[in-house]
Amino acid sequence: MINRNDIYDKNLNFLIGSGASVGLLPTLELKIRKSGSSSSHTLETLATQFESDKDIMCLIFSYYVENVIAPAAKFDISSLSNSQKDVLRNYIRFLEAILTLLNKKGGAPRANIFTTNYDGLIAHCAEHMIRSGKYDFILNDGSVGFVKKTLQARAFNRYTKDQGTFDRHEISVPQINLLQPHGSVYWYKDGENIEVSYDLKRSSARADNVPSWMDTDFETLLGDGSKDDSDINPIDFVVDEEVRDDFWRNYQALPVVNPTKWKFHETVFEEHYYQSLRALSYELERPNSVFIVFGFSFADEHILNLVKRSLSNPTLKVFVCCYSDGLKATLEEKFRGFDNVEFIRTDGALDFDTFNSEVFVASAPDVTGAS
Amino acid sequence: MIQIGQVTAVVGVEITIRANDCSNLETHFYLGKSFKGVSIREFIAIDHGFREIICIVEGEFLDERITEGDGPNLQFVRKLKARPIGFFEDEKFHDGIKFLPKIGDSAKLLPEQQVERIFERGSAGGYVIGRLMKEDIAISLPWQRIFNSHLGIFGNTGSGKSNTLTKLYTVLFDNKLDGIGASSKFIFLDFNGEYTGAQLVGADQKKVLRLKTRTDDGDRFALKEEHFWDAETLGILFQATSNTQKPFLRRVVTERKKYAANAYSLISYVQSIFRRVLTSESPSAEALELLKSLSRHLSLDAGLVDSVHKVGYHRNQTSFYYDDAGIRRFFGVDNQTYADHFEAAVGAINFQIPNGFRELQIRSELKLISDLLYGSVQYEHIQPLMRRIEALMGDFEKVISVLEDGEEAKTITVISLRECNQEIKKILPILIAKNYYELHKSLVSSPPETTMHLIIDEAHNILSQQSNREAESWKDYRLELFEEIIKEGRKFGVFMTLASQRPADISPTIVSQLHNYFIHRLVNDRDLALLENTIATLDSVSRSQIPSLPQGACVVTGTTFDIPMLMQIDKLPKDKEPDSSDVNLEELWG
């Protein structure tokens, strides 16, 4: 539904939210409902509601670490079920489509993927594709170095060319920049730098190191669709202060942006988040840019406001994929008054599979059977 | 609006525009609207006060002497050559070069709706047969002004002519069939049986005549008796020469009319002819031969036929004799022989008067005999006509039926000539066209309240200018008829639609009289030269594209359209498309 002829020669940008990893990694969604409404809470809304209660917050974030961060940190590509592999396959199709577009783009074949996910699925899929030998491209995650890779924002402005031995020709290698404004489970604080390491043992050990503190009653409540937030009675849940402090100390070492509007105190990480967001706003303000959003509901206000600000660029075209009609209505409300945003809906749910087969297709349409 | 450059030169009607960077994208997004990028044959607007001059891009150049910036991508100065075609004033498009831009005026891209308005002048919408090829915008053609004009559809075989023709009328019938009602007639001359299925309209809403010469079970084209008994019609059917044969036919027709009131007259005529031939003072051998064939053609008493065949001609005595079992009995003045052998039998002649071609054959034989007896005709001149009648009659009888009242025509009639032999394919369309044309002309008032549309696919079959096989005079007649329809038809509400793969074969008079053209891919030089010389509205850019048009695409031009447009005609669904698809070898040989 996004015409490949319209976008291939533009500055291509993508924003991938947690909707893409559904089926492989859990999302922030909870079963427990908001009191007085039929819609359910997410970790984010629940945390905002109990912001002042330290005990409950500790419980919520322990739940977050155990159920959301740990699965991402312990993600092992070699032990997956078939349905989980489908998610990876969709990531590969998505990257393939981008590469098809880049191959048609004259000049500098580059695209930017921004993702609020801190899982490493794009990195794993790109690795798999490059190793298969069928693809030649560079996934630039912003890290520089050999033994110890560290993040540098300027790395995103570096481009690779294949140059002939006799300097007679040079060919730009297609490049996909991967920017993670919400951090990654593969980032580690290293003095003033951020180290990137895709070592599975290291990331899972760190996730295990967080002394999360869980109350089974609380966990049951969160997973109960018949309860709402008024059923959480603060008196029932008390956490020992020492345990709580220990949790927060370790938690804050995790390089992920909290699912709340909390200000983050780790300046090293924060600077990098800020750099990624600045890159997003720069890219969107370049002339003739295209911005395709998938699996992201713009619940993060800082990203929403940033995109809105860049929408003053008249040559920017934004395609927002809406999972459901309800979400489309919400998003239309959020982007009211901006002509350059187009909302995309398909019959049925617009999941990653539909996105790759109907919305964002760069290969030639299948002609078998068509007249 | 996206500004894409400034005018830097205006030389005559050639405008040079210096293009900004990024103006070479395929699509531009601006505030969410998409604009087609600049490339050849694309439209751009140049601001000119309250008017916008619309130009068509004719070329793109790179000025490599001047570069801009020093980044990784060196920006060269791109220049566009454009030609004005019209202007917008108060949202209305006017064609023609009335204003020219000035240096410094800014050039902008046109949003899609405005491009649409350039082509859709005052059409009431709904009549969509295709999309602009480059802009990919569905265009509604002004049907009001297409169907009251003569249309020509040209293109090489396989370029999509038949699809265009079918689409034109399918869309018309889909939208307007109820409105058309009884006020118009559509006659499709279908040489290859391409429209006999569910094409054009549902099979129940059209009448399909499948004419066959090979077998006897085909449909027949109904000819009203009074139209059949017309020297012109008969002349067409039997390709009569105008000097001798046609006057003869005219005499036959007049005579028939004269005695039409008396049903018995033909019988007494036959009787008198018998008597007169056999008792003539100066017996004529030819008359005798004719009498013999006449007696065969009439279903006469077997005894009489036998007797007639026993009559011989003695050349030395210039007299007839009757071969009575080896004894020659001459017909004398006393007429004893006639009285003995014929008088009674001839007096008893009685037969059912045949109609149609049989009647014609008999009447012309009678007429010829009678003319011979009076010595008022050269047998050698008329005899070829009699031979042709004899030879063609069998074929004609299979495809034409002569009825007293004719037949009520349906709104849409498809006449399939697929199973007819070459001779019939050549002659019959002319008869059909003439018949409908005359009929319509006699009914219509002025201004016409009813219209008739004659649609001829593969028109080179009958409108070709040269043919080695046919006589010169016959060819003239054939072309004259169609030239008359095309020249005078409009006044009577008669319109032709021609489709052909060889426009150069069709008489230039006819091609140049057409009003609107749908020109598909044509590669032959002669065809292209003809188009160049006869179609005034075709511009050079469109013409240069004709040899390389893809299947289904055509240049649409003519009096109805302001500017020629390149259109991709929509493909019809499988059950609606004409039966002229390519052979699928994969399926056949796979």
Q: Tell me: the pLDDT tens digits for B272-286?
A: 887 787 777 777 778
Structure confidence by residue, pLDDT tens digits, B234-252: 887 788 877 888 888 888 8
Dist CA B295 CA B302 (whole Å): 9
> Average pLDDT, stretch B373-377?
79
The structure tokens listed for B195 are 């429209």
Dist CA B22 CA A11 (whole Å): 11
Which letter does DSSP use for residue A336 in this model? T
Which of A20, A161, A183 minimizes the C-alpha distance to A116?
A: A183
Dist CA B169 CA B165 (whole Å): 7
Contact at 8 Å (CB) between B368 and B384?
A: no
Inter-chain residue contact A9 with B26, CB threshold 8 Å? yes
Percent of chain B with pLDDT over 70: 95
Inter-chain residue contact A340 with B25, CB threshold 8 Å? no
B554 pLDDT above the threshold of 70: yes
Inter-chain residue contact B25 with A5, CB threshold 8 Å? no
Give the position of tokens 């289904």: B552
Which residues are within 8 A (CB) of A156 and not within 5 positions of it... i.e. 6 or more apart?
A112, A140, A142, A177, A179, A279
Inter-chain residue contact A6 with B29, CB threshold 8 Å? yes
Inter-chain residue contact A339 with B32, CB threshold 8 Å? yes
Q: Is B584 in CB contact (< 8 Å) with chain A?
A: no
Interface test with B, best of A2, A4, A9 (most B CBs within 10 A): A9
Q: Beta partners for A213?
A: none
Phi and psi angles of residue B580, each rounded to the nearest 5 degrees, phi first = -135, 25
CB burial of residue B189 (10 Å; 0-12, 13-18, 19+): buried
Residues 7-46 of B with CB under 8 A from A: 22, 25-34
Mean pLDDT of chain A: 86
Contact at 8 Å (CB) between B558 and B515?
A: yes
Structure confidence by residue, pLDDT tens digits, A204-215: 988 888 887 777
Residue of A nearest to B37 (CA): A6
> Average pLDDT, stretch B150-155?
91
Q: Distance from B32 to chain A by nearest Cα, in Å?
A: 4
Interface test with B, best of A284, A288, A311 (most B CBs within 10 A): A288
Contact at 8 Å (CB) between B567 and B131?
A: yes
Structure confidence by residue, pLDDT tens digits, A64-96: 888 888 888 888 888 888 888 889 999 999 999
Give the position of tokens 């048009």: B549
User: Of A287, A338, A340, which is closest to B22 when you measure between CB atoms?
Assistant: A287
Which letter does DSSP use for residue B546 in this model? G
Q: Which residues of B touch A104 (CB under 8 A)?
A: none
Q: 3-class SS at B153?
A: strand
Residue of B nearest to A290 (CA): B29
- Cβ-Cβ pairs closer than 8 A, A with B, add up to 43
Q: Does this complex have an ipTM over 0.90? A: no
C-alpha angle with apex B354: B351 to B358, nearest 5 degrees?
Answer: 120
Contact at 8 Å (CB) between A318 and A326?
A: no
A248 pLDDT above the threshold of 60: yes
* Phi/psi-derived region of residue A22, left when phi > 0, alpha when psi is between -120 and 50, beta in every other case: beta
> Average pLDDT, stretch B360-385?
82
> Average pLDDT, stretch A207-230?
80
Where is B189: in which H helix or E strand? strand B184-190
User: Of A8, A340, A371, which is closest to B29 when you measure between CB atoms?
Assistant: A340
pLDDT value, residue A259: 66
Where is B44: in which H helix or E strand? strand B43-48
Structure confidence by residue, pLDDT tens digits, B18-71: 988 767 788 888 888 888 888 877 888 998 888 899 998 888 888 777 777 777
Which of B295, B320, B290, B297 minimizes the C-alpha distance to B306?
A: B295
Q: Which residues of B touch A287 (CB under 8 A)?
A: 22
Structure confidence by residue, pLDDT tens digits, B468-522: 666 666 677 778 888 888 888 888 889 999 998 888 888 888 888 888 999 999 8
pLDDT value, residue B116: 79
Sign of the four-CA dihedral B574, B575, B580, B584: positive
> Average pLDDT, stretch A110-137?
92
Q: Which residues of A touch B32 (CB under 8 A)?
A: 317, 338-342
The structure tokens listed for B27 are 């699509």
Mean pLDDT of chain B: 82
pLDDT value, residue A64: 86
User: Of A6, A10, A339, which is closest to B31 when you measure between CB atoms?
Assistant: A339
Sign of the four-CA dihedral A50, A55, A59, A62: positive
Residues 282-341 of A with CB under 8 A from B: 287-288, 290, 314-317, 338-341
The structure tokens listed for B476 are 């003239």
Tell me which of A7-16, B171-180, B289-298 is least confident.
Answer: B289-298
Q: 3-class SS at B156?
A: coil
User: Of A6, A288, A371, which is closest to B574 when you measure between CB atoms?
Assistant: A371
Q: At what angle do helices A54-64 and A241-251 cross, to 10 degrees?
A: 40
Which letter does DSSP use for residue A43 in this model? H
Complete DSSP assignment for B382-443: HHHHHHHHHHHHHHHHHHEEEESS--PPPSEEEEEEEES-HHHHHHHHHHHHHHHHHHHHHH
Q: Is A371 in CB contact (< 8 Å) with chain B?
A: yes
Other C-beta atoms lying within 10 Å of the C-beta of residue B502: 19
User: Of A6, A287, A316, which is closest to B34 when you measure between CB atoms?
Assistant: A6
Q: Is B576 in CB contact (< 8 Å) with chain A?
A: no
Q: Beta partners for B108?
A: B3, B45
Inter-chain residue contact B29 with A316, CB threshold 8 Å? yes
Structure confidence by residue, pLDDT tens digits, A318-361: 999 999 998 999 999 999 999 999 999 999 899 999 999 999 98
Inter-chain residue contact B28 with A8, CB threshold 8 Å? no
A181 pLDDT above the threshold of 80: yes
Which of B221, B142, B277, B281 minimizes the C-alpha distance to B414?
A: B221
- Strongest mean pLDDT among A145-149, B459-463, B521-525: A145-149
More confident call, B82 vs A229: B82
A371 pLDDT above the threshold of 50: no
pLDDT value, residue A370: 38
Dist CA B135 CA B38 (whole Å): 11
Structure confidence by residue, pLDDT tens digits, B281-304: 777 778 778 877 877 777 777 777
Residue of A nearest to B1 (CA): A314
Q: Distance from B30 to chain A by nearest Cα, in Å?
A: 5
Q: Beta partners for B328?
A: B323
Inter-chain residue contact A371 with B72, CB threshold 8 Å? no
User: Of A3, A6, A342, which is closest to B32 when you measure between CB atoms?
Assistant: A342
Interface test with B, best of A318, A340, A344, A368 (most B CBs within 10 A): A340
Residue of A nearest to B575 (CA): A371
Inter-chain residue contact A3 with B27, CB threshold 8 Å? yes
At B425, the pLDDT band (50, 70, 90 cuts) reads: confident
Contact at 8 Å (CB) between B440 and B493?
A: yes
User: Of B26, B31, B571, which is closest to A314 when you measure between CB atoms?
Assistant: B31
Structure confidence by residue, pLDDT tens digits, A36-59: 777 778 777 787 778 777 788 888
Other C-beta atoms lying within 10 Å of the C-beta of residue B574: 9
User: Of A8, A314, A342, which is closest to B30 when you measure between CB atoms?
Assistant: A314
Full-model pTM: 0.71
Q: Which residues of A touch B575 (CB under 8 A)?
A: none
Q: Which residues of B touch A339 (CB under 8 A)?
A: 31-33
pLDDT value, residue B258: 82
The structure tokens listed for B229 are 């008994």
User: Of B26, B30, B573, which is closest to A5 when you measure between CB atoms?
Assistant: B26
